[in-house]
Every structure is written in structure tokens, then in C-alpha cells.
Amino acid sequence: MVRGRALAGAAVAVMASALFVAGCGSSASPTASVRTSGADPAAARDPVAATCSGRIAVMAPYTEGGSTDSVQMNWARVALDTFNVENGTGFQVEPVDVLDDVASGVRGARRVIADPGVVGVVGPQTSVVTAAVGPLFDRARMAYVSPSATRTDLTDGRLAGFYRVVANDSVQGPTIARFTADTLGARTVAIVGNPEPYSRGLADAVDAELKREGMRVTRITVPLRQRDYSATITRIPKGADAVVMPFLLTQDAQRFARQMEEAGRDPHLVGGDALFVPTEFTKVGAYVSSYSPDLRKTPYGASIIRLYEAIFGDFSTFGGPAYTAMQVVATAAQRSCRAGRATREGVWKAMPGIELDDSLLGQRVAFTNDHDLKGGRFHMYRVEPNGGYSSVD
């Protein structure tokens, strides 16, 4: 078991170089790094930890992806820099610029597999890319820890090296359903979703839980990028208390919400984690789920947020799990270290037993036999008039 040192202390150590990075580094540059000074003296006395090196790939966007562009990459960098300061290690990030394009994901996976210096992976970001590249990583015995791939069947045993630090959609669906029924008091609910795996799976989970609660549920499927929802809106029961929207695309949800308002329909609107993009889904009063808690409310969140903002100038809850995923991979890399180098095989073998007593997510991090996060949960947020999201947990 790894007992986390005080993250706030590490943040202070890293802050010594934050002004240099903020002035000279680019948060979107794949070669930009967060430089450190003042490593923990206790860690430096450990000759293995002080000389342990290796590269950890981060499979996340830094030039594509809209409003979430570079957020996970940036948080992973801060996490690795903090880990290096705490432990006297010299691990480096190997960036792989991938959002949800399978072809680029496969190219990126093959590139890092061919590089013997890469010992583990943070990512992929999306479920679709994870499903595509997972078999490649498995054959190479490359462990990969996603901060955001939530599709339930990714941990059905087919992907041997896949882990995630967020709850899966079998948890998200009931969370949304219970929030809709218990907190919002809905009794008649419509579910409007898309005919693709993420949306369909989440809709199924919400539907099943609502029906167990005795709710009246109407299911409606609409294509991606639909422009006119007028016919869809007429199919929603007049007495519906809530509409659950497991849409994949924020622009679709924004368009649907606007057209609902124009039609004079005002049920509660509840979206899934794909809509957690404050600059793109802005329907005031709507709700969205997230696999990340409000980091301001976690024991170490405030210190790390101050560090992150000093370096990159912005903040997003979306990146917190990327910080934790990097902690997990770096911990396994340090445990695998032999003769000053982390090893890919060592990371693969160490991963099942990694436990973090303290994490930015406000909970202990450990994995089930299926490589899911033990005790993982989803959180609910409300869209506020100022354009931000506030936690309603």
C-alpha cells in the first residue's frame, strides 16, 4: 500500500518554479514540461527512488477536443511533476494527441508500444479509443489507466491491462436515475438519447433503475447532430417531470434544450458526463453528471488547484481524475524500478496491487478484480447563470 504524502507540501515545492513555467511554457505544447526544484530531501536519500526514470505516455488531446482541449494532459503533467518532487524520481511525459479518433489512437498506441522507454499509459480518454487500442496494449503488456473511459464492458475481462480511476456507467446510470427520482421528485420521465454505444448503454442503465423505482418512462432515440427536435418534443409526455439526455455531443444537448424552451416545455433536464463542458452546455438550471467530485471540496484539492492555475491559468474539474491516473501509473513505475529504470513488465505486474490512501478525488484508490475503481461514484452538478457548474451532492 502507498500512503500519500501531503500533496499540499508537494504543491509548495513545485510552486517555486510555477512562475517560470507560466511565463515560458505553453499548456498546449507537447514538449512543454513543468520544471521542479527542491525535491523532498527524504526521498532524495533513497538511491533507488532518486535515480528512477522512464516515460509515461498520456493519451489525451492537446490540440483538439474543443473546450476540454489539453485539460487532461495538463493535469497529468502537474501530477507527474508533483510525484517527482515527492519521491525524487525523474519520470517524464510522452504525449499522445488523441481524442476520439480511433485511427489516430491506433497510430499513437503503436508508436508508444514500439518505444522501449515508455513503461505505462495514462488514458485513453474515451471509451471508443480504449476499446480499439486495448488489445494492442495487452499484447505488449503495457498497463493503461484511463481517467475518463466509463463504458461498462471495458472491464468485462477482455482487456487485461486496462484500469480506470472513475466509476463506470453501471454506476452512472443509477446515480442519474436516483437523483432524478429522489432529489428532483420526478415520477414521469422521458429518456432522449442517441443510437451509439455510450448513449445507449447509459440510457439502458437509467431506464432500468427508474423502472425499478416504479417510474413511468418513455424512451426516444434521435440521431447524432439532429437539427430539428420539434417532432421529438411532441413525443415527450405533456406531464413529464424530467427529461434525461444521455447525449454524446454537447451541441446536440444545447440545441435540444433551446428548442424545448422555445416550445414552452420546462421539465427538469438531466444529462450524462459527456455534457460536462461548462463552455458548451450552458442551459441554466439543467443538471449534468461527472465522474469527478468538486475538487474544491476534497482535502487536497484547493492546494493542487492553486498550483494548476498558477501554471496553466485555468481550472476544470474534468482534469482531476487525470491527476489521479498519473499518480497510479507513476507509483507502479517507481515500484518496478530496477537499476535506476522503471520497466514495462514491472508496471504491468505492480498495477493490480496499487493502492493510494490519499487522492485528489477525495477517496482511497484501489482496484477491484475487474480493474474498476473500488467505491467509485458519480456526482451531480447544476448549470448556473454565470456559466459555471455547482455541485449538488
* Residue 217: predicted pLDDT: 97
Same domain flag for 240 and 318: no
pLDDT for 140-181, tens place per residue? 999 999 999 988 999 999 999 999 999 998 999 999 999 999
Inform me whether the pLDDT recorded for 108 exceeds 80: yes
Distances in Å between the alpha carbon of 232 and those of 138, 180, 193? 43, 21, 11
Same domain flag for 264 and 198: yes
Over residues 360-365, mean pLDDT: 86
Same domain flag for 232 and 135: no
Inform me whether the pLDDT recorded for 247 exceeds 50: yes
**Is 371 domain-assigned?**
no
- Of residues 238 and 28, more confidence is placed in 238
Same domain flag for 384 and 268: yes
> What element of type H or E holds 86?
helix 71-87
**Is 54 domain-assigned?**
yes
DSSP code per residue over 333-355: HHHT-BTTB--HHHHHHHGGG--
Quick one: what percent of the chain has pLDDT higher than 90?
65
Same domain flag for 52 and 149: yes
**Is 373 domain-assigned?**
no
Residue 300 banded pLDDT, cuts 50, 70, 90: low
Inform me whether the pLDDT recorded for 307 exceeds 70: no
Same domain flag for 182 and 322: no
Angle between helices 197-212 and 127-139 (to 10 degrees): 110
Inform me whether the pLDDT recorded for 28 exceeds 70: no
Instruction: Tell me which residue range forms the domain holding 162.
Output: 7-167+294-362
Distances in Å between the alpha carbon of 176 and those of 20, 171, 207, 254, 339? 43, 9, 10, 19, 49
* Residue 279: predicted pLDDT: 84
pLDDT for 38-80, tens place per residue? 333 333 334 444 469 999 999 998 875 444 458 889 889 989 9
- In this prediction the pTM is 0.78
**Is 161 domain-assigned?**
yes
Contacts of the segment 44-52: beta carbons below 8 A, 24+ positions apart: 44/88, 46/88, 48/337, 48/340, 49/87, 49/88, 49/89, 49/334, 49/337, 50/88, 50/89, 51/90, 51/340, 52/87, 52/89, 52/90, 52/91, 52/333, 52/334, 52/337, 52/340, 52/341, 52/342
Q: How many domains does the chain have?
A: 2
Same domain flag for 134 and 24: yes
Same domain flag for 264 and 350: no
Inform me whether the pLDDT recorded for 315 exceeds 60: no
Q: What is the sign of the dihedral through the CA atoms of 320, 321, 324 and 325?
A: negative
**Is 33 domain-assigned?**
yes
Same domain flag for 312 and 355: yes
* Residue 48: predicted pLDDT: 42
Same domain flag for 95 and 175: no
Distances in Å between the alpha carbon of 207 and those of 2, 191, 252, 274, 298? 39, 8, 21, 18, 31
Residue 302 banded pLDDT, cuts 50, 70, 90: low
Same domain flag for 196 and 142: no
**Is 368 domain-assigned?**
no
- CATH code (residue 331): 3.40.50.2300
**Is 375 domain-assigned?**
no
Over residues 277-287, mean pLDDT: 93
**Is 374 domain-assigned?**
no
Same domain flag for 285 and 313: no
